[in-house]
Structure 1
Amino acid sequence: MADRFITPGGLARIRSEYDELFAVERPKVVETVSWAASLGDRSENADYIYGKRRLREIDRRLAHLARIMKQAKVVDPAAQPTRDQVRFGATVELADEDDNRRSVTIVGDDETDASAGRIGWSAPIARALIGAKVSDERIVRLPGGEKSYEVIAIRYPG
């Protein structure tokens, strides 16, 4: 089993989703299914059929989230002792060969969000950046070919 590193914020988001599904959404769907079942014939009862399907989806998601929380190893980026190198939780400003700049934060694989600049620590770009210092150049092997990045800045929260 691979390590399942996660930031405290990522674990809080997963816990919040779990709590919302378990305490709010699932009881509502159970109530709808119970009501639909009381109407009699279930074979053509859309509320019943959809409700049962939605319950299975919720239960699968709850099991997945529970597994993540059980296996999670919380790493607080603010407590990183080495702040001059890229490590888990670092926000890294990069420049490519054309001086296009972008900022990425290395987080757990379960909390990635490319549109927000959060990339999983096992992603190719994150693996290439781990251990880099400011002004280091790293080559990332991507499906579309190799791309070179220079580390412009490294920041940690706190």
Structure 2
Amino acid sequence: MDRVPITPRGYEALKKELTQLVSVERPLVIKAIEEARAHGDLSENAEFEAAKERQAFIEARANELKFKLGNADIIDPDKLPRDRAVFASRVLLANVDTGEEVEYQLVGPDESDIKEGRISVASPLGRAIIGRRPGDEIVLEAPAGKRTYELVEIR
């Protein structure tokens, strides 16, 4: 299995979610199952079915998080080259047509949050930015039409 790049912030967020699932959510759902069982006939017990479905979700997500954490390759943004855009880089882009500037950090799919300025390296824009250098032009075919950016700076 290949290692999966992740920022320290993203790694900590996955660890926090796993801890929440295992130490808070799992005990709550076990208690809910026990309480639903106490109501008797399980064949027509909606509370029991809902609790079992929640338990299955929690266990699946916990296993997924353990796998991701076990295969994580933590990339420290402070130790990255500044001459080209790579995973975890912070880039400043300028829209060639409007002059509007936006800053993004290139992250993995589990960390992406456009509102926080984190875009996935797997997204169309993320793929277009990777490997580029300051001064390079980036052309993105968007649903609303073609957009052209200049990579102003790698921070």
> Partner amino acid for 2:61?
R
Report the Cα offset of residue 107 of structure 1. 0.8
Residue in structure 1 matched with residue 91 of structure 2 by the alignment: 92
- The one-character-per-residue Cα deviations of 1:110-155 (angstroms, maximum 9, x if unpaired) are 2111221111112221222122232221212345543210112221
Q: Write the distance in 1 (CA, Å) between the matches of 2:11 and 2:79.
A: 16
Residue in structure 1 matched with residue 52 of structure 2 by the alignment: 52
Kindly indicate whether the alpha-carbon contact (under 8 Å) linking 1:85 and 1:134 is maintained by their aligned counterparts in 2: yes
Residue in structure 2 matched with residue 17 of structure 1 by the alignment: 17
Q: Write the distance in 2 (CA, Å) between the matches of 1:39 and 1:131.
A: 60
Identical residues among aligned pairs (%): 35
**SS, match of residue 14 in structure 2:** helix
**SS, match of residue 105 in structure 1:** strand
Answer yes or no: is 1:136 the counterpart of 2:127: no
Q: Which runs of 5+ in 1 are unaligned?
A: none
Q: CA RMSD in A?
A: 1.8
- The one-character-per-residue Cα deviations of 1:78-106 (angstroms, maximum 9, x if unpaired) are 111x2232221111111112212211110
Kindly indicate whether the alpha-carbon contact (under 8 Å) linking 1:6 and 1:74 is maintained by their aligned counterparts in 2: yes
Residues 1-150 of structure 1 aligned to structure 2 (within 5 Å): 4-80=4-80, 82-96=81-95, 97-150=97-150
What is the TM-score of this pair, normalised by structure 2? 0.89
Q: Which runs of 5+ in 2 are unaligned?
A: none
**SS, match of residue 135 in structure 1:** coil
Kindly indicate whether the alpha-carbon contact (under 8 Å) linking 2:2 and 2:71 is maintained by their aligned counterparts in 1: no
Q: Write the distance in 2 (CA, Å) between the matches of 1:7 and 1:124.
A: 20
Kindly indicate whether the alpha-carbon contact (under 8 Å) linking 1:5 and 1:109 is maintained by their aligned counterparts in 2: no
What is the TM-score of this pair, normalised by structure 1? 0.87
Alignment: residue pair count? 154
